Amino acid sequence: RRAMGVDWAQAPDDTAAPVIEQCNSPEHLDVHGQTCNHLHLLALHEEHGTQYPQQTDRLVEYAKMWKVTRTCDDATGEGSPNNQYLTERLRGISEVEGLKLTTVSNDDICSLFAREWHLKRLWLPKPEQFDQAPYVQLYTEQERTVQKRLLKKLTTQLLDLEREYKAGKMNLHHPEGASYHDDHAKGLMYAVYATVRLATSPPTAAYATIDTRPQAPTEQDRVKEMVKQMQKPFSMWGEV
């Protein structure tokens, strides 16, 4: 099963749309050294400074190529009409869920992403993998170079992420400053959320005995975690 996350933007930010799939390769072990169903980043896509209808048209072709079956996108504010158009264009191809981003929903998305990352259930490809199958069949050499560039951009954004707590709710975002962005990182978070939602509907569909659904911590758990992690850089939670 494959899922796509879409973070909509126009210049100076980018629309980012990573695709991930569920995989149980024995080469990728979790934090406990065990084989498990994990999430593998397949491909990245970026739209910069173009009109949203044209962006959507290319996203549809991209989703078809990677056989995406579930999509989550930012449906907040200007993302709402984009979500409607994308939903219509992907009808019969991929189920689309628009995310209304609030303090609570951001906490759900970010907490789920942080947990999958910390448990090493989220794996990024190495740059040289883009010069192997299936990429050599799907992409030209120039397009594979773009994939490597976007992977580097995503990795940088992940390492730059900062955590912010408001009323005990977590949000992951880029640092202050015009040179920082988090579009690809946010797209990946939405893709992870889409994949786990896909896996748990029905609940037994893909993760077998591994329950990746968000678990509601108690207030005491939240306070303990906040005290423990407040000043800890996000990049220390796992390895890139």
The pair of structure tokens assigned to 170 is: 């977590």
pLDDT computed for residue 232 by the predictor: 47
Within the chain, residue ranges assigned H as helices are: 52-65, 79-89, 103-118, 135-138, 141-160, 183-199, 219-229
Residue 210 CB partners (closer than 8 Å, separation 6+): 36, 37
Q: State the Cα–Cα distance between residues 178 and 100, nearest whole angstrom.
A: 25
**Residue 219's pLDDT band (cuts 50, 70, 90):** low
Is 93 in contact with 71 (CB distance < 8 Å)?
Answer: no
Residue 48 CB partners (closer than 8 Å, separation 6+): 11, 14, 15
**Residue 216's pLDDT band (cuts 50, 70, 90):** low
pLDDT reading at 187 higher than 80: yes
The b-or-e profile of 111-149 (16+ CB within 10 A means b, else e) is bbbbbbbebbbbebbeeeebeeeebeeebeeeebeebbe
- Residues 122-159: pLDDT tens digits? 889 999 999 999 999 999 999 999 999 999 999 999 99
β-bridge partners, 4: 19, 71
Percent of the chain topping pLDDT 70: 81
- Residues 90-124: pLDDT tens digits? 999 999 999 999 999 999 999 999 998 888 888 89
